[in-house]
Amino acid sequence: MRPTDSAHGTHADPRPSSVGSFNSLRSPAGLTLLETIVAIAIVAIILSTLMTVTSNSLRESRSGNFKTQATQLLDTVGRRIAGGSDATVLPNAGETIELDSNDLSEMANIELNDAADFEATIENLGEFTVSSTRLEQYRVVICYAGSAGERCVSGGTLGR
């Protein structure tokens, strides 16, 4: 039931008179210029954040691919050393051999990623005797240019 204005016999409107003024802020055609600019700014901030996250994710993925390839090269070089038949990977005691990306690509028979610029260092650490068997101990280090500078993977193996 509505309250009645007893002097005039009419019903009083309980809504404040300022409510109607909100309609005058918005044009009947759509959003105001200020609302549009704010919306565009918010979208720009969100998109720039997503671009940064995506860029970092791609960089880390690429670095992971380089590490995987370096580990595969380490395995290939280690197997050639252990086989003992490839003189290009068998330095004399106390000596070191260095291989560049081209040498590694030919040895592994794969196409290496040029951006990583792989390098290998094979070091003969000397004789290692197990029971009556004498072997040579080798240290192999494969390095590549990662997103945070040079990174390396290393391993050791025995050869003849």
Any domain includes 18: no
* Strand (E) or helix (H) holding 65: helix 33-83
Residue ranges with strand state E in 57-147: 96-99, 119-130, 133-146
Alpha carbon 123 to its chain's center: 31
Nearest partner of 60 among 1, 129, 146, judged by Cα:
146
Residue 21 lies in a domain: no
Residue percentage of the chain with pLDDT more than 90: 28
Question: Is 155 inside a domain boundary?
Answer: yes
Would you say 5 and 11 are in contact if contact means Cβ atoms under 8 Å apart? yes
Domain count, the chain: 1
Residue 58, pLDDT score: 81
Position 64 scores a pLDDT of: 81
| Domain range for 53 | 31-159
The three-state secondary structure class of 31 is: coil
Is there a domain that residue 66 lies in? yes
The pLDDT of residue 7 is: 56
Domain assignment present for residue 84? The answer is yes
Tell me: pLDDT of 10 over 70. no
The whole-number average pLDDT for the span 115-142 is 88
Buried b / exposed e along 103-134 (16+ C-beta atoms within 10 A):
bbbebbeeebeeebebbbbbbbeeeeeeeeee
The two three-digit tokens of residue 3, written as one number = 């309250």
